[in-house]
Homo-oligomer: A and B are copies of this chain.
């Protein structure tokens, strides 16, 4: 049982806010992250899969396959996009790092399961000081 991780990156705009609150209330909760004119980040996504080594190929999953899955299902949809208004699976959600990562999991887990591997962990780095991790735990 080995764990294999692939990093992919994307650059997006977003803001933290609840549509049901006033700007002032949003600022109170989220501080400058609530700015209605948006701000943005260079996000780093680390996708860790877990599996046994395929005796034929000597790898758990072909890293090219893993990279392509992440790019097709995630990066294409979020890179150089506005996370709040352009990403179908984030629509009407609060796009905190925590919530983004759970939505990414829903998108990736089934596809990765088609290969010789299981999605084990997602890590989403928002800044050099902040990141979230998710293991599919409810």
Contacts and interface: CB of A to CB of B under 8 A. Distances in A.
Interface string A48-64: 10000100011110111
Copies in the complex: 6
A94 interface: yes
A18 to B, nearest CB: 8
- The prevalent SS among residues of A at the interface is mixed
A70 to B, nearest CB: 11
Contacts of A9: 127-128
Contacts of A16: 58-59
Interface string A123-136: 00001111111110
Contacts of A91: none
A3 B134 contact: yes
A79 B32 contact: yes
A64 B13 contact: no
A106 interface: no
